[in-house]
Structure 1
Amino acid sequence: MPRYTDHDVEHYDRPRRRTRPRTKDRPAHEDAVDGMVVTVDRGRFTLLVGDTVVTAMKARPLGRKGVVVGDRVRVVGDVSGEDGALARIVEVTERSTVLRRTADDDDPVERVIVANATQLVVVTALTDPEPRPRLIDRALVAAFDAGLSPLLALTKADLADPEVLLSTYRSLGVPWVVTHRGEDRVVHGLDALRERLAGQISVLVGHSGVGKSTLVNALVPDARRETGHVNAVTGRGRHTSTSAILLPLPAEWGEQGWIVDTPGIRSFGLAHVQPEHLIEAFPDLDEMTEECPRGCTHSEDEPECGLDDALRDGVADPERVASFRRLLAARSITEY
């Protein structure tokens, strides 16, 4: 029996979908205004349009194009910022930098963490929890690959000597700042960090429990980021930041700066990083590899690498070459 009879309204033909002629012409959106993505939450985007906080959604013509924290966008619709108002993101402008990672080294899917940042701040505690140099190495590799300036922010210097960890990274030329909490529970050593953050868009990354949210609250008093504690049994911290958020630094600092607080990480896949991109971040070493055979990865087991020739000739700094090759090896080390 047919589903409908001649007496049912549903029997008659309905207009078919997509009967409207397609056109390549798209609205010019000449009335669109500029905004910056502050945070992303389940398909809704919080933007700063001037000084106004605006909630927006992605326009359909953008398709699968991702919109991430730090993106500069063009917006139409209701940008009043009033309760219940909703704007539309119609364009994502070209990104100057992209910080990305993969979940694992064999994962082909890249995950963009933040766009248009200028500096990557690797936050690590000197103890409680213990530093994880391999995870730090991987974060530095991601920074060099993305064209970001790296910075080490060492916390809890009141509990351990920073020199032990700093000796590992000094040859790379990575700058650092050291902070600690006094008996008054106030974070000390922030002046040097403020100088490094002023005028920059800085992404703070680090595994849980290193004091990242504590630093954010000290730098931006009204941020009110939740802080956690370190499990005494596992030595691991508890995730307190659940999504990345862009925060403006206080205006009294002078030149406008921003920080991006990110959730604590436990892995930093580098499947997207190629050796030739990594060595470009070290111009002095890159120059020594001009005569390397095609496809040379510049690792220790390469038979004709220019770095080995430079070491034999006394041109290269052995500690710097060793540090670079340690970063190179970090791409394939899965335990950290």
Structure 2
Amino acid sequence: MARELDEDDVRVRPSRGSRPRTRDRPDHAEAVAAVVVGVDRGRYTCRLDTMADRLVAAVRGGSMRRTSVIVGDRVALVGDVSGAAGLLARIVRREERTSVLRRTPDDSDPVERPIVANADVLVIVCAVTDPPPRPGLIDRCLVAAYDGGLSPVLCLTKTDLADPAALVDLYRPLGLPVVTTRPGGDLRALLELLTNRVSVLFGHSGVGKSTLVNRLVPAADRAIGEVNAVTGRGRHTSSAAVALRLPQGGTVVDTPGVRSFGLGAVSPDRVLRAFEDLAAAAAHCQPGCQHLAPSPDCALDSAVRDGHADAARLASLRRLLGTRGASP
């Protein structure tokens, strides 16, 4: 006698959408800690914590596909971490960032582009001539450093061709370290600030940044460009940020030369936090005060009149705050 068929006898291949879903995700306890030292078209070059000489190529995996990963990020890798050619590991976790250097394409764009994560120092590289210095761009870099949690350093190059005194005097009230370099000159003052720290070298094209990187890291072999004699602008020689190990200890990140630096997402209060001596006085300002011009309503002017704040420091702060409305 033939058996009656029911629904259990019908074989149906489950569709992709009918598979059971769970919120439980693997904890990747076996993941290997690493730091991102280079990014190129969706591929991430990572240096392992346990084997600093091994570089591993990786891609973002799983839930990390929508998470931003940049040079300097501390990440966790699974899969093949042998570093063998043609093999890829997966980035499954990004640790919380301690600092972020970022900028916007222009001041009208509020979307920030992160450049480097977890750096300690921002070295603003500026030539005293050929090309001529651009204090507006230096000021914008300072704002980005203060806003992102980095300690700024001003490095003046080509001091064999012109006197750096005017630039040094301009930035003295800010209290930031200023070092000078010249071809073949001593780099000990700069190295003292960089050794055993993560540093970012940043500046516009043609200031000698790649030359400086090659002197700091002789094995780097970074390409060197020339300055156009007509426009005074340099040729971009670095196309992406890359982290290099200093022989003395620490890491230096070389970044592409820039011609603009947008601060569209930076508010005055975020800059003011870096000026601890002025921030307390600013707390007495009216809501919405921009702290830009001398005004009887700005508590910073009252603090200067009463001797509780330095006039030169306030002038420097206002110059930095004014960079959002001025061309670099």
Note the C-alpha offset of 1:302. 4.9
Q: Distance in 1 between matches of 2:174 and 2:85?
A: 49
- When the two chains are superposed, the root-mean-square deviation of aligned CA atoms in Å is 1.4
**1:16-48 Cα distance to aligned partner (Å, 9 max, x none):** 442322211111211101000000000000000
Amino acid of the structure 2 residue aligned with 1:100: R
- How is 1:1-336 mapped onto 2 (pairs within 5 angstroms)? 16-49=15-48, 50-51=51-52, 52-181=54-183, 186=184, 188-250=185-247, 253=248, 256-300=249-293, 302-333=295-326, 335-336=327-328
- Secondary structure of 1:25 counterpart: coil
Contact 1:296 1:302 in 2 (8 A): no
Residue 297 of structure 1 deviates from its aligned partner by 1.7
Paired with 2:296 and 2:121, the residues of 1 have a C-alpha distance of: 35
**Structure 1 residue ranges without an equivalent (≥5):** 1-12
Paired-residue identity, %: 58
Ranges of 4+ aligned residues in structure 1 off by more than 4 Å: 13-16
* Cα distance, 1:61 vs structure 2: 1.5
3-state secondary structure, aligned to 1:180: coil
Contact 2:296 2:302 in 1 (8 A): no
State the TM-score, normalizing by the size of structure 2. 0.93
Q: CA deviation at 1:218?
A: 0.2
Does structure 1 conserve the Cα–Cα contact (< 8 Å) formed by 2:294 and 2:301?
Answer: no
**What's the TM-score once normalised by structure 1's chain length?**
0.91
* 1:158–1:180 contact (8 Å) kept in structure 2: yes
Q: Which amino acid counterpart does residue 119 of structure 1 have in structure 2?
A: V
Structure 2 Cα separation of the partners of residues 78 and 303 of structure 1: 64
Are the aligned partners of 2:109 and 2:265 in contact in 1 as well (CA < 8 Å)?
A: no
Structure 1 residue 303: Cα displacement: 4.6
Task: Look up the match of 1:8.
Answer: none
Corresponding residue pairs, total? 314
Looking at structure 1, the residues matched to 320 and 141 of structure 2 have their Cα atoms a distance apart, in angstroms, of: 10
| Code of the aligned partner of 1:72 | R
Q: What secondary structure, in the 3-state scheme, does the structure 2 residue paired with 1:113 have?
A: strand
SS in 2 for 1:141: helix
> 1: CA distance between counterparts of 2:20 and 2:296?
62
Counterpart Cα distance in 1 of 2:14 and 2:26 = 26
Within 1, Cα distance between the matches of 2:109 and 2:294? 25
Question: Which string of whole-angstrom CA distances, capped at 9 and with x for unpartnered residues, describes residues 235-292 of structure 1?
Answer: 0000000000001100xx2xx3111000001111111111111111111111222311
Q: Distance in 1 between matches of 2:130 and 2:44?
A: 35
Distance 1:189 1:171 in 2: 26
Displacement of 1:15 in angstroms is: 6.1
